[in-house]
Structure 1
């Protein structure tokens, strides 16, 4: 009974961690709990005078499309792949490579298909929210300005004394434009869209590489993986082309996403490998050693009858 109880405790603990991660991402995204750092600027700085590209909804890759893709495509691919692999193992009776069914009580069983799917998707979801938190934290702390910041800020250069372009403006009330547009223009480093797209693409690419073992997939897997990474890279390029982010914002988002995805895949789900039992963890050098038949050595005691053997043994003890 100890094993089901400990498993239940660990499940509740993981749910608490997931709930805390989701709540923290929500507070970063939709509340004013964390104030954005107000970064100053130089008058007429050409780095921030690009034309305003409009709201995010009219972008070539709008947020609704991006979030749907990064949430739906990996979920669908992992679920379908696990179902296919599980079905093929049943058909081919490949029970050696299947994970065992875990009994959590008199009426509760964890099927290998359900366990693997929930584990991989749970880790992916956690990493997605963790990436969002890292990005939001960086945006709040740095307050880096977008390429179109001065266009939406609409500062009054005359009242600010901007007769010289080298004058630095750090006044929070320097802007006269729309407040919401100004706040969004201060949250660009790192690029959230670049980070989420690369995280989803890299996690799914490593899953495809580690899981798909079908013959004839030597070129299919690289094509799928490189196609995913290419779409993620184009997402970052689109952010720069539309003057919504700098190249430094996009590269920082790429680095954060690669680091989180690599850590989760390598250290948490162990490259999507099945869990081995203790007997299977023995190295091949020990498992493959044949039993050595040593020659039988005859004991001197065997030359005497049993009664004599007992008498000799008793004499030795006394």
Structure 2
């Protein structure tokens, strides 16, 4: 099915995807966050420990399959409706799925790497830091509300996680996934009957991302500024991925064409006629 040049392009894409996700893998497995101190009178880090409303496992276990299912179903429907002549249909299915799913995974890896680089480099204390750290107060000099750097946490298992407040990984990942789908639907749903349905779906996707971010504030896992920056980061990466990596907004051709199309497998290569309908 694949020729030698196409295999080389696939290997290049795989190498790029690995490189983009490398910081995320390294930081999560080996790196410890920057050791930041605190002011004794800092009320912003004295909140209690609470369970996550939306855990890491729930967020990834729902959002990733949901995005992949929408993208895969969308690309299969797009290819089926495009009806391009003189082209192996199976090869076109594989090509479009490869580029759409590959673009999504590339952006997800870039988003997580950017998030973790910020988290581990800055080491901002979470709102529940003191409850998680449980420092030995008898050994800390808090006169005049001074800045404390030399202290030991009683609960070392939660200490590192409590230093990863800026910025919110939940917020950035949820906004990336939802905004990616919002723009994907904008590019693919072009029929007249979707003109109100499409923005309705997009609205609830956006609300989902915002809700995930708000739960991180109410759970005392992040400061509001962590969530705000996380949402901005996820949105930026989604826009970058859709417009600079994928080809969702490529100018479509007529539904039926007679010439042979070149269907390479590089993520940057544009495709044609890949829409659910037209705006006519």
Distance 1:242 1:39 in 2: 22
Deviation at 1:225, TM superposition (A): 0.7
Which residue pairs with 2:113 in the alignment? 133
Find out whether 1:52 has 2:49 as its counterpart.
yes
- Judged with a 3 Å threshold, the aligned counterparts in structure 2 of structure 1 residues 275 and 267 are, in CA distance, closer, same or farther, namely farther
Distance 1:87 1:12 in 2: 28
Find out whether 1:71 has 2:50 as its counterpart.
no
Deviation at 1:4, TM superposition (A): 4.4
Deviation at 1:178, TM superposition (A): 1.2
Deviation at 1:20, TM superposition (A): 3.2
Distance 1:214 1:68 in 2: 31
TM, length-normalised to structure 1: 0.74
Which residue pairs with 1:40 in the alignment? 37
Aligned structure 1 segments of 4 or more residues deviating by more than 4 angstroms: 274-277
Larger Rg: 1
Which residue pairs with 1:150 in the alignment? 130
Which residue pairs with 2:7 in the alignment? 8
Q: 1:247 aligns with which of 224, 230, 237?
A: 224
Distance 2:246 2:87 in 1: 18
Residue by residue, what CA displacement relative to the aligned partner does 1:260-293 show, whole Å, maximum 9, x if unpaired?
A: 111111122233436879x9xxxxxxxxxxxxxx
Distance 2:248 2:109 in 1: 20
Distance 2:73 2:143 in 1: 63
* Structure 1, unaligned runs of 5 or more: 103-108, 280-318
* Structure 2, unaligned runs of 5 or more: 254-258, 262-280
Q: Name the structure, 1 or 2, with higher relative contact order (CA <8 Å, separation 6+).
A: 2
Residue by residue, what CA displacement relative to the aligned partner does 1:25-67 show, whole Å, maximum 9, x if unpaired?
A: 22222x12x231011100131010001114xxxx221111100
Q: CA RMSD in A?
A: 2.5
Find out whether 1:232 has 2:209 as its counterpart.
yes
